[in-house]
Amino acid sequence: MSSDEEKNAKSFSLFKKLFDKLKKDKKSMLIILLGISGMLLILFSGTDTVNADATEETSAGVYSQENISAQVKKLISDINGAGKTEVVITYENDFETVYAVNTDEKYSGNDIHTDREYIITDDETGLILKVLYPKVRGVAVVCQGGDDPVVKQKIYSVLSALFDISSNKISVVDMY
């Protein structure tokens, strides 16, 4: 028999002796089983961690262009006199993530050399400083009450306050 086989046989023998003793002592067996169960729960709960990318995706999902358009459509249709509403929102850019960076500047004479290095977290993703949301370029609204000046003014006011845009970036027209 090889040395590996001898080690395996000894380990198995020790395990069998321990198991036989534990079968006789029910209280110890219960404690060990609870301990093993706890370790397994800890082990498997760690496999479902959320990383920064998932958080960013969730955040982007909550503030997706479709979601914002749907919320604005509901908001405008709730305005007295607006009626059935359709909304299109255009954006100047998309979501932008700003990552933390270590910067090292070295001076040699009149030259400046800058080295940049992204800060990486334990799960090997970049450390997110902030997420910049898209800037609204313009909003087009087509609604049943779009020909009423009072309704138009309410819509202009709501959209201007909501997106911090001027009224010349908002178009409201009557639905056929």
Provide the sign of the torsion angle of the four alpha carbons 75, 78, 82, 83, taken in this order.
positive
β-pair type (111-118, 101-108): antiparallel
Domain boundaries, the chain: 3-48, 53-95+133-174
**Fold entry, domain 53-95+133-174:** GMP Synthetase; Chain A, domain 3 (3.30.300)
Amino acid at 38: G
CB 29 within 8 A of CB 37: no
pLDDT at 156: 94
pLDDT at 114: 82
Percent of residues, the chain, with pLDDT higher than 70: 74
Q: Residue 163 above 60 pLDDT? A: yes
Q: Residue 46 above 70 pLDDT? A: no
pLDDT at 49: 44
Distance, in Å, from the CA atom of 156 to the CA atom of 167, rounded to the nearest integer, reads: 6
CB 89 within 8 A of CB 95: no
CB 75 within 8 A of CB 89: no
pLDDT at 58: 47
pLDDT at 161: 93
What's the whole-number mean pLDDT along residues 31-54? 60
pLDDT band at 130 (very low <50, low <70, confident <90, very high): confident
What's the whole-number mean pLDDT along residues 42-51? 54
pLDDT band at 61 (very low <50, low <70, confident <90, very high): low
